[in-house]
Chains A and B, each alone.
Chain A
Amino acid sequence: MNKKKRMFIRMITASLVRRRSRMIVALLAIMVGATILSGLGMIYYDVPRQMSSQFRSYGANVIIMPSGDGFIQEQALQTALGKFPDAELEGYTPYRYENTSIHNMPVTLAGINFDSIMKTSPYWHISGELPEQDGQTLVGAKVADKLSIKTGDSISAVNSFEVTDSTDTSRIPDYEIYTDPKTGEKHCDHALDLKVTGILDTGGSEEEYVYVSLGDTAYLSLADRGYDIVEISAAATQDKLSEYIDNINSSVRSVSAKLVKRVTASESSVLTKLQSLVFIVTAVVLILTMICVATTMTAVIAERRREIGLRKALGANNGSIVGQFLSEGLVLGGIGGILGALLGYAFAEIVSVNVFSSSIMFQPLLIPVTIASSVIVTGAACLIPIRSAVEVDPALVLKGE
């Protein structure tokens, strides 16, 4: 038994080694098929994730608003943000609006966090620099146009109000308070001096605001309060986002989260299209390469009819011949599958780095699937020609017909 087994193995290895060039041809065909399966498979699985982060250039896809008339408190915001998995949360920007006047014109000031703004509004075009600290400001193009503000200018935002006995004057410098000589009422022109570091151009309504840091809005309004609105950019599908939003709305009563439909609805439709495109392309290419593998194997076996005839003449039965050829096919399929799976991974990685400048997510399951399918395909491709090959009459073949 043991001897028989050794003989069997020797026959297979010998045939693979002796018929090197032909085997390499077959191996190459299998390998190409396996590479395509594993490479495109990995890309198919990773396309939604990779593209999703590209779609983040549309900016925020979830907004949080206060549910009543109040404001969003930091604590409620953090609880709400906690509903998003860390890996999916790209960034969030709280907005706090204050009415003020610049050059005696009413202007709305938006207090934001400059560190995260490019995450939630990556489409902002800034001529100049994004502010980095308190006291610096980014002016919307419409406001800048109206008030003739340029980068580098110093402007002053003024919050005017009447000072009554209940006003907390501890945070107001003395020189800002004056008494109206006619009425005897005390007034305050609380000013915030700002240096314009850039002009914002978006083509949308964002150009109608003047952006300062959250600290500056608190200073100007003399009040620490929460935020008016929070923009969130999360790399997740529409279904997942809806799930998080329901979660937030049911657990954090003081805020109400909303999906920015315009962004999410279109994103999921484009992503689905793109993924099905890769899927169909993979399927078509795979079917064609499978046929390629099959034809190659048919050719390889067809030319060995003499060998089959000889073995039959020596007394081999059909079963052992089928067994030998099938094993050869399986060994080829296995080797081709392993090489192809690795090559495919390398290919997917190259594509991912070149297209998305990030590494591909390795799909461990695809490796065994690739190897298994290339073994199965090769096996199946061998079976058909072998079945007709074993039917040959040894005498005819050996005679040279």
Chain B
Amino acid sequence: MFLRMVCGTFYRQWKKMLMIALTVALGASIATAMLNVMLGVGDKINEELKTYGSNITVVPQSESVISKLYELDEDVRYDYLKEESVNELLTIFWANNIVDFAPETDTTVTLDGNEVRLIGSWFNHHLEFIKKGTTYQRDTGLVNLRSWWDIKSGKWLDEQELNGTDYCMVGETLANEKKLSAGDTIRVKGEHGTKELEIVGIFESGDDEDKCIFTTVTAVQELTDTSGLIKKIEVSAITSPDDELAVKAAKNPSLLTGDEYDLWYCTAYVSSICFQIQEAVPEAAASAVRQIADSEGKILEKTELLMSLITLMSLIGATLGISNLVTSGVMERSQELALLKAVGAKNGQITRLVLTETILTAVVGAVAGYFMGYAFAQIIGQTVFNSSIEMNGMVAFIVAVLIVLVTLVGSIPAIRLVLRLRPSEVLHGGH
């Protein structure tokens, strides 16, 4: 009988029930979309912040200290890292968080009688190697690490397209000074010979690099007779903002307790990534570029807080909207419920009937709403960040709990009203 009554309601009152389901769906979709965006916004903004360039630099370990302390002979190159050490970056625990990296080596060359800094690096390098049976590969280089460069003429040096290594890009200030343009060939003289480099592009960077020439790593190595050696690695990694643990660990990781150490090691703090790089490349010292690392943390934290407050507000909005509709939906049916009372239904029975109907409707609405919310989250992700937003399994759970709670709370005033109804009055037509 109970089942039949419930089915009857859905059959006869499908319009009202549909409206409740629709509102619940709307509310659930707001909640789903906002929660997903909130949980995903950190990653997205972090990716955007990568345009600031590298946040970690890897240099040879205290070159000065070693050579000064032990007065070693000058032939040993303390101020260089092996070019293969770059590969090691892809083997660390947080390798997936390393977005871009490029080795760097430089020298001072003479160009038309002036001393100029010549920097060798990767532009759009394709790195591929096999280590312990695993194939690692990555496309990386300055194209991403110097995203703020404005190419004034010519284009980016394309390592994949050009044959050979004798190509370069020249900073705008230097190009203006020497009247150079893309397509020209310059002759640079280094310690170990001279080289002719073809200019592929002129760039504006807005800092000291405007006075430099950028070329391939090999070209610099040939000029300085340092084959296979580099001076520095620039790394751009997605990191978590520093908190107390990170600050404590940054001082000295060995002071942490076992649990703290595990947590620190397995969190993408800039300090733990630096630590892991040093583990992989023992002769190197990795340090955070404070300007980038600190600011990223700060901005990330603010954005996440902002989004969580906006989400909270949308949730409140959605909650009120749903409970509103549930309340008015039940109120509308006062006549019908009064009739039930008149024919002898007990308060408990009526309450059960109303709740079952409402919750059934809400569940249908919530499921539809969850998928609508998924669509909304994707729309937001595509429009703002040009990438999809990952769905978090936890969100479905939160939304489900929220909807059930809200529906129950929303039904309370309506049920109280129903219980107070006096059948004779309602059925007679008075209010």
B-binding residues in A (CB < 8 A): 21-22, 25, 28-29, 32-33, 35-36, 39-40, 43, 47, 51, 54-55, 57-59, 121-125, 145-146, 201-204, 258-266, 269-270, 273-274, 276-278, 280-281, 284-285, 288-289, 291-292, 295-296, 298-300, 302-303, 306, 347, 350-351, 354-356, 400
The smallest C-beta distance from B312 to any residue of chain A, in angstroms, reads: 9
Within 8 A of A (CB), among B276-296: 287-295
B14 within 8 A of A: no
Interface residues contributed by chain B, number (CB under 8 Å)? 74
Tell me if B30 and A288 are in contact (CB < 8 A): yes
The smallest C-beta distance from B70 to any residue of chain A, in angstroms, reads: 15
Interchain residue pairs with CB less than 8 A apart (24): A29-B321, A29-B324, A32-B321, A51-B299, A57-B294, A122-B294, A125-B294, A202-B290, A204-B291, A261-B150, A261-B206, A262-B206, A265-B147, A274-B303, A278-B306, A280-B383, A288-B26, A288-B30, A288-B318, A292-B321, A296-B321, A303-B332, A354-B305, A354-B309
B5 within 8 A of A: no
B298 within 8 A of A: yes
A297 to B204, CA, bound (A): 59
Tell me if B325 and A292 are in contact (CB < 8 A): yes
Within 8 A of A (CB), among B137-161: 147-150
Tell me if A288 and B48 are in contact (CB < 8 A): no
Q: Which residues from B are CB-within-8-Å of A288?
A: 26-27, 29-30, 318, 321
A72 to B230, CA, bound (A): 37
Tell me if A145 and B52 are in contact (CB < 8 A): no
Stretch at the interface among B57-65, B102-110, B356-364: B57-65
B328 within 8 A of A: yes
Measured CB to CB, the nearest residue on chain A to B49 is A270
Q: Which of A59, A259, A303, A400 has the most CB of B within 10 A?
A: A303
Q: Which residues from A are CB-within-8-Å of B243?
A: none
Q: Which residues from B are CB-within-8-Å of A21?
A: 331, 413, 417
Tell me if B310 and A40 are in contact (CB < 8 A): yes
Interface of B is mostly: helix
**Given A36-B317, A284-B380, 8 more pairs with CB closer than 8 A:** A51-B299, A55-B299, A201-B290, A204-B289, A274-B45, A292-B26, A303-B331, A347-B313
Known interface pairs A123-B291, A258-B206; A146-B313 also in contact (CB < 8 Å) = no
Within 8 A of A (CB), among B297-336: 298-299, 302-303, 305-307, 309-310, 313-314, 316-318, 320-321, 324-325, 327-329, 331-332
Tell me if A295 and B30 are in contact (CB < 8 A): no
Measured CB to CB, the nearest residue on chain A to B148 is A265
Tell me if A25 and B324 are in contact (CB < 8 A): yes
Measured CB to CB, the nearest residue on chain A to B38 is A281
